[in-house]
Amino acid sequence: MSDDQDITEQTSKARAIVDALLERDQAEWRNIQYRKHFNVDESGPKLKTLKDHRVDLDPKERKEVVRRGAVWDEGKPGVWKSVVNGKTWYVSNTHRAYRVKPTLRGAIQAFSYVKTTA
């Protein structure tokens, strides 16, 4: 292999590495911009965004919340639902703390902690 071929091959490999790194960084940057624009952090949307997009629990979901005991002292469900950008989130909150989960089961389990903050 001649020196010219060797240099060309090394340059090609280096260019491929740089291109891959730039592509990864651009994807990461787009992800950061999405989270900022839609007010989403690593654990899910922020409470204000969730409240703005709150929807009623389905009767089946409400029944499951009550059946599993995730209710406040007055009998109201301790978990509610929000749909942000087409994704459903389940929330349990007090004035001191909140937990956001992508599944109803996760939010029901999180309620036991949130209730201790009431």
Mean pLDDT of the chain, nearest integer: 86
pLDDT of residue 67: 96
Residues 6 or more apart in contact with residue 27 via CB below 8 angstroms: none
Q: What is the arithmetic mean of pLDDT over 69-98?
A: 94
Report the domain count for the chain: 2
Token readout for 93 is 């909150």
59 & 76 share domain: yes
| Domain carrying residue 91 | 42-115
Region for residue 103 given its phi and psi (left: phi exceeds 0; alpha: psi -120 to 50; beta: otherwise):
beta
Centroid of chain to Cα 79: 17
Residue 54 in contact with residue 82, Cβ under 8 Å? yes
Evaluate if residue 38 carries a pLDDT over 60.
no
Give the residue, 104 or 23, on which the prediction is more confident: 104
Q: Which of 30-39, 66-75, 77-86 has the lowest mean pLDDT?
A: 30-39
62 & 110 share domain: yes
57 & 111 share domain: yes
Task: Write down the pTM of the prediction.
Answer: 0.64
Give the residue, 26 or 72, on which the prediction is more confident: 72
51 & 107 share domain: yes
Evaluate if residue 39 carries a pLDDT over 60.
no
63 & 31 share domain: no
Residue 82 in contact with residue 91, Cβ under 8 Å? yes
